[in-house]
């Protein structure tokens, strides 16, 4: 199977981090994780509100990892300049909000020096994102409904992960398949077997395991390895 890297990668959802004192968590996770996953929500496209740009501006300078912003917003173009200025290195708008100007928005993201991703909601079909796949570095598959932390996996989304992995192989592409939603020991194995490269770790993935982020991280890696039988490269 063609993939951007052979081992699983882990993205940390800053939306689930300790807002009272995030710096120590970020400083440790810099040494072990692969990506920070940053949720922006406008209260329109998503029923919830995500991280504000002023908070992001304060926290991302502490990051030494890739800073990927998941844009759960109605008008992605409105946010690009703000997020680039705040420290984003990859921007991931939703297919459902790109509309008729999808190619233009992805081009603008790249012109701003960022990687370009797309995200797809559970009900959005593979066919609706197929034309964009040659233009992106990352595809985020939502395996839960957006705006609701802690929701169970929607198993029908596994079929879309398989389609994305198959299309990548058949066309010699190299986009990363990232899974957002219910990434934990209940689902790691089926997600990985479907073709997942990167797992977004939120409350059930890491932060609710233990208040000590070092212990929580060790528990997460152990949970992944026990569930999949696959060793990771992140225990460094």
- Is 37 within 8 Å of 226 (Cβ atoms)? no
| Whole-structure pTM value | 0.93
- Catalytic residue list contains 137: no
Residue 180 is a catalytic residue: yes
Cβ neighbors of 89 (< 8 A, separation 6 or more) are: 66, 67, 68, 114, 115
The confidence score (pLDDT) of residue 58 equals: 82
pLDDT in tens, 68-101: 999 999 999 999 999 999 999 999 999 999 988 9
Q: What is the DSSP letter of 41?
A: E
- Run of H or E residues at 67: strand 66-72
pLDDT at 93: 97
Percent of the chain whose predicted confidence (pLDDT) is above 70: 95
Q: Which one from 180, 197, 212, 222 is the annotated catalytic residue?
A: 180
**pLDDT for res 151:** 81
Catalytic entry in 39, 42, 81, 169: 39
Does residue 1 register a pLDDT over 60? no
Domains and CATH numbers, the chain: 9-228 (3.20.20.70)
Tens-digit pLDDT profile for residues 132-174: 999 999 999 999 988 766 788 999 999 999 999 999 999 999 9
């Amino acid at each position: 199977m063609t993939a951007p890297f052979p081992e699983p990668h882990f993205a940390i959802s800053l939306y689930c981090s300790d807002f009272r004192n995030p710096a120590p968590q970020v400083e440790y996770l810099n040494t072990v994780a692969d990506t920070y996953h940053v949720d922006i929500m406008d209260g329109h496209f998503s029923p919830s509100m995500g991280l504000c740009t002023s908070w992001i501006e304060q926290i991302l300078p502490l990051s030494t990892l890739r800073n990927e912003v998941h844009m759960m917003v109605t008008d992605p173009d409105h946010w690009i300049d703000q997020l680039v200025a705040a420290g984003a290195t990859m921007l991931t708008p939703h297919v459902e909000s790109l509309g008729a100007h999808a190619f233009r928005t992805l081009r603008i993201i790249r012109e701003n020096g960022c990687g370009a991703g797309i995200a797809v909601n559970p009900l959005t079909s593979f066919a609706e994102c197929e034309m964009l796949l040659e233009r992106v570095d990352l595809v985020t598959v939502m395996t839960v409904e957006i705006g609701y932390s802690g929701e169970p996996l929607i198993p029908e989304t596994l079929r879309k992960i398989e389609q994305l992995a198959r299309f990548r192989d058949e066309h010699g592409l190299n986009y990363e398949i990232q899974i957002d939603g219910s990434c934990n020991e209940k689902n790691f194995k089926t997600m990985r077997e479907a073709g997942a490269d990167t797992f977004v770790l939120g409350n059930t993935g890491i932060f609710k395991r233990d208040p000590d982020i070092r212990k929580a991280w060790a528990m997460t890696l152990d949970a992944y390895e026990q569930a999949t039988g696959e060793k990771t490269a992140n225990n460094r």
